[in-house]
């Protein structure tokens, strides 16, 4: 009897103990701000660990005092990491503690709303679904859509560009938009799809899009990094780079937005293959970058506006990102994003920051916007879509429409203004 009581007690005690030492079931995302240089060093070390993924900024070297770091931490090391933070006097708050649930929400394949005609607009599409959608769209609008194969990814997936044209004689002006340079930024491809649908559905119905499409063609690359995108669906939701492999290197992938020939691999990029901002072996070493660069080089006389869609943090950026120097038409570019941000604030009550890349976020050489700008495309922008860190990369699908509508408004106003200038 005594033994029984002892065991009952012991088990009970273990349960309590276990609860005290509770290991969180799920990965967490913390927002952590370093106040001192020493804390920056601690934070850089922690975020270099394999069991963590930096959401913001893109790499440990970019961590600074007084700017919040968003860090995704695997369940198994949450306690260890928070203890470390506390022991160094670092303050933090929990951004997300249900990451698994959010990932499931993002990938759930809900039967589409019976009221919509087969297509479900507020869900994230897998790469196969996107390829099917590209096909269907070109069949549905044969007189407005052409599909152009501009190259293939490292793992040999096709890179399709949709060329959208109004029903009018050929024109000599065009704009370009790419989405999904970074694999984990799912709202970006979702925006490209949203944008294409909007253009096709409302051409000849709404004046803004009609006048844009009557004056220029629109090239849209919905997923610039298909290998990375697939990898975020199958294996690691937080993957950023492409999936290229090199001999003698243990690490996979280069950052496609550091691989363009724009002050390539200087401060703000890394030549270390394991870094999230690895610049690749040489400019355009990555087939995805080479394909886009070749296409734009051969269309540089017609393409007047370059847009690249990323997430998250709600920003409208323009060159330069590789230097703190101002672009030649800095004032003009600033006025454009300022107006676009004001429109978003007015209609959606949402805040977007804006400015030159290097000044607004951080030095980041080898980016597509700077490269396109130096190629001669004088209106070149990078958008960072929703949100500002509430969900980060794990934006619930119910927020897709709002995120896309506000960005759409900004794209339209910029395109219309650029058309007035050229
Ligand atoms: N978050 C983006 C990146 O790190 C910013 C891109 C801004 N433009 C640039 N050329 N770096 O790639
Ligand atoms: Zn990005």
pLDDT score of 6:
54
Give the model confidence (pLDDT) of 395-411 as tens digits.
999 999 999 999 999 99
Query: Does the C-beta of 59 come closer than 6 Å to ligand 1?
Result: no
Kindly state the average pLDDT of the residues 286-293: 98
Query: Does the C-beta of 367 come closer than 6 Å to ligand 1?
Result: yes
pLDDT score of 2:
61
Residue nearest to atom 9 of ligand 1 (CA): 367
Residue whose tokens read 């065009």: 174
Which one of the listed residues 276, 284, 288, 384 is annotated catalytic? Answer: 384
pLDDT score of 415:
98
* DSSP codes of every residue in 204-245: TTSHHHHHHHHH-EEEEES-S-HHHHHHHHHT-TT--S----
Residue nearest to atom 2 of ligand 1 (CA): 310
Q: Which residue has better confidence, 252 or 118?
A: 252
Residue nearest to atom 10 of ligand 1 (CA): 367
Q: Are 3 and 75 in contact (CB under 8 A)?
A: no
Alpha helices (runs of H) in 349-398, residue ranges in sequence order: 357-360, 368-375
Distance CA 224, CA 255 (A): 12
Query: Does the C-beta of 366 come closer than 6 Å to ligand 1?
Result: no
Residue 3 in this model has a pLDDT that exceeds 90: no
Mean pLDDT, all residues of the chain: 94
Distance CA 114, CA 111 (A): 8
Beta bridge partners of 267: 269
Q: What is the 361 CA–ligand 1 centroid distance (Å)?
A: 8
Give the model confidence (pLDDT) of 232-253 as tens digits.
999 999 999 999 999 999 999 9
Query: Does the C-beta of 304 come closer than 6 Å to ligand 1?
Result: no
CB neighbours of residue 50 within 10 Å = 8
Residue 20 in this model has a pLDDT that exceeds 50: no
Q: Name the closest ligand to CA 240.
A: 2
Q: Name the closest ligand to CA 315.
A: 1
Query: Does the C-beta of 355 come closer than 6 Å to ligand 1?
Result: no
Query: Does the C-beta of 357 come closer than 6 Å to ligand 1?
Result: yes
pTM confidence score = 0.93
The helix or strand, by DSSP H or E, that contains position 294, with its residue range, turns out to be helix 287-298
Percent of the chain at pLDDT > 90 equals: 90
Residue nearest to atom 12 of ligand 1 (CA): 257
Distance CA 166, CA 370 (A): 29
384 noted as active-site residue:
yes
Please give the backbone phi and psi of residue 322, each rounded to the nearest 5 degrees, phi first.
-90, -5
Looking at ligand 1, which atom is closest to the CA of residue 58?
4
pLDDT score of 44:
97
Beta bridge partners of 380: 306
Distance CA 305, CA 376 (A): 10
């Amino acid at each position: 009897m005594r033994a029984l009581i002892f065991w009952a007690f012991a088990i009970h005690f273990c349960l309590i103990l276990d609860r005290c030492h509770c290991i969180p079931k799920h990965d967490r995302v913390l927002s952590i701000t370093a106040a001192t240089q020493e804390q920056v060093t601690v934070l850089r070390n922690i975020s270099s660990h394999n069991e963590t993924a930096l959401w913001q900024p893109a790499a440990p070297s970019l961590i600074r005092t007084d700017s919040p770091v968003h860090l995704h931490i695997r369940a198994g090391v949450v306690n260890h990491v928070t203890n470390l933070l506390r022991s160094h006097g670092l303050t933090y708050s929990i951004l997300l503690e249900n990451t698994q649930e959010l990932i499931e929400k993002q990938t759930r394949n809900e039967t589409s709303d019976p009221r919509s005609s087969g297509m479900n607009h507020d869900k994230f599409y897998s790469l196969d679904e996107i390829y099917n959608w590209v096909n269907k769209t070109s069949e549905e609008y044969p007189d407005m859509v052409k599909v152009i194969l501009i190259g293939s990814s490292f793992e040999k997936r096709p890179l399709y560009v949709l060329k959208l044209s109004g029903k009018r004689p050929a024109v000599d002006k065009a704009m370009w938009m790419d989405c999904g340079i970074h694999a984990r930024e799912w709202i970006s491809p979702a925006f490209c799809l949203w944008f294409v649908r909007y253009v096709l559905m409302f051409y000849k119905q709404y004046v803004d899009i009609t006048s844009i499409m009557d004056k220029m063609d629109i090239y849209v690359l919905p997923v610039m990094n298909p290998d990375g995108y697939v990898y975020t669906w199958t294996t690691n939701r937080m993957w950023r780079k492409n999936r290229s492999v090199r001999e003698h290197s243990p690490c996979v992938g280069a950052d496609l937005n550091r691989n363009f020939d724009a002050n390539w691999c200087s401060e703000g990029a890394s030549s270390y293959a394991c870094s999230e901002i690895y610049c690749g072996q040489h400019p355009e070493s990555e087939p995805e970058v080479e394909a886009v660069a070749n296409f734009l080089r051969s269309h540089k006389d017609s393409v007047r506006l370059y847009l690249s869609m990323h997430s998250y943090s709600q920003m409208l950026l323009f060159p330069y990102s590789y230097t703190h120097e101002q672009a030649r038409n800095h004032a003009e570019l600033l006025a454009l994003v300022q107006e676009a941000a004001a429109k978003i604030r007015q209609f959606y009550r949402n805040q977007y920051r804006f400015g030159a890349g290097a000044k607004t976020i951080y030095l980041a050489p080898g980016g597509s916007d700077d490269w396109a700008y130096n190629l001669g495309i004088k209106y070149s922008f990078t958008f960072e879509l929703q949100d500002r860190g509430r969900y980060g990369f794990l934006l619930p699908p119910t927020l897709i429409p709002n995120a896309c509508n506000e960005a759409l408004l900004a794209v339209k106003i910029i395109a219309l203004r650029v058309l007035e200038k050229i």
